[in-house]
């Protein structure tokens, strides 16, 4: 099974970023938290820390993001929770309307 690493951001005042907290709450709420093997923090107080290094290495500009390592060592990067859900965590399950809206902000026209 693929190993999933979540990289989340912690603000200078020690609080997690709002989006990261939201995504974590949803993973927990949907019983998927156990599928996250490792959590790495990009702490604003430690710009040389592992989270920031991973963001730079993979060219990622938003938090949270996920690294999915397959058995053969290849690493896929996910910045969209919905895609992670669809492709890795719960490929067969229906996507919620909220996930759909999160992934498609252009639906605001509705």
Partner 1 sequence: MDGKLVERARRELAGAEPQEILRWALERFQRIALSFSGAEDVVLVDMAVRIRPDVAVFSLDTGRLHPETYRFLERVREHYGIALEVLFPDAAEVEALVRERGLYSFYREGHKACCAVRKVAPLRRRLAGLDAWVTGQRRDQSPTRAAVPVVELDAAFSQPDRPLVKVNPLAEWSSAQVWAYIRAHDVPYNALHARGYVSIGCEPCTRPVLPHQHEREGRWWWEDAREKECGLHAGNLAANG
Segment 73-81 long-range contacts (CB within 8 Å, at least 24 positions apart): 81/23, 81/26
Site string for partner 1, 66-95 (x = CB under 8 A): ------------------------------
Distance CA 33, CA 104 (A): 24
Q: Does 28 bind partner 1 (CB under 8 A)?
A: no
Q: Is 36 exposed, middle or buried (0-12, 13-18, 19+ CB in 10 A)?
A: middle
Task: Please report where in the chains the tokens 């896929």 appear, as a residue.
Answer: 76
- Is 107 a binding residue for partner 1 by CB under 8 A? The answer is yes
For residue 19, state whether it binds partner 1 (rule: CB under 8 A): yes
What is the smallest separation between the CB atom of 23 and partner 1, expressed in angstroms?
10
Bond prior to 58 in cis (omega within 30° of 0): no
Residue 11 binding partner 1, by CB under 8 A: yes
Binding positions for partner 1, rule: CB under 8 A: 9, 11-12, 17-20, 42, 44, 47, 52, 55, 60-65, 96-98, 100-110
């Amino acid at each position: 099974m693929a190993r999933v690493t979540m990289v989340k951001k912690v603000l200078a005042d020690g609080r997690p970023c709002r989006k990261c907290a939201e995504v974590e709450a949803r993973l927990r709420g949907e019983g998927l938290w156990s599928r996250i093997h490792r959590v790495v923090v990009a702490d604003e107080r430690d710009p040389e820390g592992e989270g920031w290094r991973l963001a730079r290495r993979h060219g990622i500009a938003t938090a949270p993001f996920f690294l999915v390592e397959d058995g053969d060592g290849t690493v896929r990067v996910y910045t969209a929770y919905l895609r992670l859900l669809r492709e890795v965590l719960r490929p067969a399950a229906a996507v919620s309307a909220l996930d759909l809206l999160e992934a498609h902000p252009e639906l605001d026209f509705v």
